[in-house]
Amino acid sequence: MSTVNRHAALSALRECMKVQRAHVDIVGAIRAAIVLVVLLSLGHRFGLLSESLSLGLGALFAAIADTTDSPGRRLRVMVWGVLWSAVGTLLGGLLSGFGPLHVVLGFVFAAACGYAASLGARGALIGTLSLVLFAVYGGDEIGTGVAFLDAGLVIVGGTAYALVSLAATPLRRMLTCRVAVARAYRAYAEATHRTGLEMTAPTVAIEAMAARTVCDHSGVQGDTSDWLNGLITDLERTRLGLLAFLAMKEEAPDYSQQLVLASGPVAKAIGDTLVGPFSRDVDGPLAALEAVRAQAPNDRLAILADDVVGPLRDAAARMRRPWPIGRRASLDPPPIANPPILPRLREHWTAGDPVREHAIRLCLAFGLANLFAVLTPIPHAYWFPMTVAWVTKPDLSGTVTRVFMRVLGTLAGIVLTVVFVLIAGQLHAEVLVSIIAIGVATYLAIGYIWANYPVAVIGITVFVLMFANLAGSPITSDVLARVGFTVLAGVWVLLFALTRPRRSSLTALDALSRTAAAIRDYAATVRDHQDATAARIAVNRERLAALTAVNAAATEPRGLWERPGPHIEPQDAAILLADALNAASVVVAEELLHERHQDDPQLWARLEVTLADMDTRISALRVT
């Protein structure tokens, strides 16, 4: 294996291991699991187990399509997700058994589902869900065998989940807003434990912006707006203080580390209190943070420590006062804009467009896999095109990491399924254990879908296999076939992705160069004593783009028949991203010190040296 491919494999495996704890959705996972267990239990009670399987799939896919946003937007996304899931179910069920037509329309439907990415991330997700159901019901192993009935049951199941989900989040309780703000605080708590390259991720800034968007979509007004947006502002100010401390850490590295680590528990306690059933102790961690702040070794570090501690102190004070939610809530939800669909579709219908290329790639990869599944007499061959639908992504990096995640998660899910089946056999309670297993699988799938994809895949795999087990399809005797199709699908998709790879290496250098330029603009704004908010946002945006591009480049193997070309090594990327973080932290430190008339000319000199070093490294990498 070449050095580039070895780096790509190791980077992809590291991506599989990451868990974004701030995005673990415990409440939503429990809610979805309860809905699934109730639907299946009712189906078993009334002798309608086959019907309840389609109900359950509709509920699960509606839960996957759900978002953390205002109720109106959540409802719209879930409705579209349920409707297109029903279309995939209907087409797969109708075409099952009609070989040539099934194959031809498989190509067409895969292209349409891939092109749905032109409507955004949710469009791509809904397209994937629809194509997965087309493969599952085309395999004719799950459901009632009546296509229209199965499609209708998917709609009913999805509708049931949507109604329960929206009813469980009363509008005036502002739960979605609180969840979004809590995620930002939890992301900050996670960031305080990061080191090295991971510290460059502007995760907290992104989560804070997402929280503001959710609050805006919910139409919060008056005291409610002041409370929620005040909490977001407090967090953003704390984040800036943390970033400024990175510029000064060499003066007192031990103290800087103590302050950063002490601020994490305060943020986590605030985030947990916002959404937890019980309030957490905020005062204890805050007192510990105040004690560390009092030990500042010099005046400049004391000033920056105040910029970390003060906003968290303000946020804690907001948490102690009565929350302006429920009867106290003030909100006026704005109308939901409906951007025209056709112009967005036409926008990507040009040669070389990544969405169009993805649609073509998915059309061929899924269509040929579906052809194989239709022609082969091997049982459960639908698993091949189904896995292809799950793992194919528009970009090479996304496909590589998704293949690793999918294969690892599926293999672990198969093992867990076998364990459940063996337990059910020992207890002679196949239906009961299967329903419990599906509840556990739903919890894993929904709870970790945005936090750790391999864990979610474990849940999805157990979910589908236990459904098949309830439908009478043996699991333990067909393990090797399912494992084989999973690995085959991963290799198959990688072959298509590597045939004409869409690389990010050169884009990464461009993104790093734009980041350096944005930092220079930010520094100029601070020097001119102007409002730096817009410039700071631009730095966050460019830094996120650079991090995304570099991470993508690190996971990209060499393509088939591809000549060696520019490729950014992880070591070089780490140095450049660290330089960008240091440069940004210097500007933030100077901005905060200037507010207290404590300017430090040496910081500006450090900034110029750091940016010049970035330019030199980027120029050298371009000609390598």
Task: Determine the 3-state secondary structure of 456 from DSSP.
Answer: helix
Q: What percentage of the chain reaches a pLDDT higher than 70? A: 89
Q: Is the dihedral of CA 81, 82, 86, 92 positive or negative?
A: positive
Q: What value does the mean pLDDT of the chain take?
A: 83
Distance CA 112, CA 360 (A): 9
Residue of 564, 577, 558 lying closest to 617 (CA atoms): 577
**Lowest model confidence (mean pLDDT) among 176-185, 268-277, 339-348:** 339-348
pLDDT digits (tens, 9 = 90+) for 286-322: 999 999 999 988 887 888 888 889 999 999 999 999 9
Q: What pLDDT, on the 0 to 100 scale, is given for residue 8?
A: 46
Q: What pLDDT, on the 0 to 100 scale, is given for residue 1?
A: 45
Which token pair is 46? 């009334």
Q: What pLDDT, on the 0 to 100 scale, is given for residue 108?
A: 95
Residue of 158, 143, 139 lying closest to 53 (CA atoms): 143
In the chain, the amino acid numbered 194 is R
Q: What pLDDT, on the 0 to 100 scale, is given for residue 13?
A: 45
Distance CA 473, CA 382 (A): 13
Distance CA 116, CA 127 (A): 6
DSSP letters spanning 267-291 = HHHHHHHHHSSS----HHHHHHHHH
- Which is more confidently placed, 110 or 194? 110
State the average pLDDT over residues 66-76: 87
pLDDT digits (tens, 9 = 90+) for 369-391: 999 999 988 888 888 999 999 88
**Lowest model confidence (mean pLDDT) among 241-255, 323-337, 436-450, 513-527:** 241-255
Distance CA 267, CA 181 (A): 11
Distance CA 624, CA 616 (A): 13
- Which is more confidently placed, 64 or 500? 64
Distance CA 588, CA 594 (A): 10
| Non-local CB neighbours of 265 within 8 Å, separated by 6+ positions | 189, 285, 288, 289
Which token pair is 385? 């095109």
Q: What pLDDT, on the 0 to 100 scale, is given for residue 16?
A: 45
Q: What is the DSSP letter of 220?
A: B
Q: Is the pTM of this model over 0.85?
A: no
pLDDT digits (tens, 9 = 90+) for 205-225: 888 988 999 999 999 999 999
- Which is more confidently placed, 558 or 400? 400
φ, ψ dihedrals at 153, nearest 5°: -70, -35
Residue of 392, 383, 545 lying closest to 468 (CA atoms): 383
Residue of 468, 588, 473 lying closest to 526 (CA atoms): 588
Q: What pLDDT, on the 0 to 100 scale, is given for residue 9?
A: 45
Task: Determine the 3-state secondary structure of 331 from DSSP.
Answer: strand
pLDDT digits (tens, 9 = 90+) for 458-475: 998 888 888 777 766 666
Q: What pLDDT, on the 0 to 100 scale, is given for residue 50?
A: 78
Domains of the chain, start order: 3-170+340-499 (no CATH), 175-328 (no CATH), 505-622 (1.20.120)
